[in-house]
Amino acid sequence: MRSTLPSPKQKRNYGLELQELGRKMGIHTILFHNAVAERLGLNITDHKCLEYMLGTNGITAGELAKVTGLTTGAITGVIDRLERAGFARRQPDPHDRRKVVVVAVHTRLPEVAKLFESLSRNMERALSQYSAREYEIVVDFMRRVSDVMRQENLRLRAAK
């Protein structure tokens, strides 16, 4: 069996390696979230919109459409499905009674959290292999990559 490790004379291409690992992680992340959505009786778009809403104190349909790149009509369908499933509700905007905001309903969140318990344990186990300094590097890298992805999403949306 041939070794896949580079010989001491070969230079390791970290950029290419990280790109490939990022691609694989992205695929597995999407598939995991799709499985979570299915277990909750949602589709992945609805699930990710719910996840986005959890980070807000309420969001208008227009704002959610802008963030996701979906049409306002599609977002209305997402909100309708989330409401029927008991994950969201529409309510008057506390700052402008002419507007309606959508807020996440927290009563079903323990059901969602339960689906992430194994992942959380296994991620914690994986991270426990690193020193505090190495952990700081991983966190810094993840923050930077997350920001790059946010910026690239905005760039692609602006180029329509």
Determine how many CB atoms are found less than 10 A away from the CB of residue 111. 12
For Cα atoms 144, 146, 151, give the angle at the middle one, nearest 5 degrees: 95
101: helix, coil or strand?
Answer: strand
Question: How far, in Å, CA of 108 to CA of 88, rounded?
Answer: 10
Tell me the pTM: 0.82
Per residue of the chain (160 residues), give pLDDT as tens: 455 655 666 788 888 999 999 999 999 999 999 999 999 999 999 999 999 999 998 999 999 999 999 999 999 999 999 999 999 999 998 888 889 999 999 999 999 999 999 999 999 999 999 999 999 999 999 999 999 999 998 898 888 6
Domain ranges in the chain are 14-127, 130-160
* Fold category of 14-127 in CATH: Arc Repressor Mutant, subunit A (1.10.10)
Determine how many CB atoms are found less than 10 A away from the CB of residue 95. 8
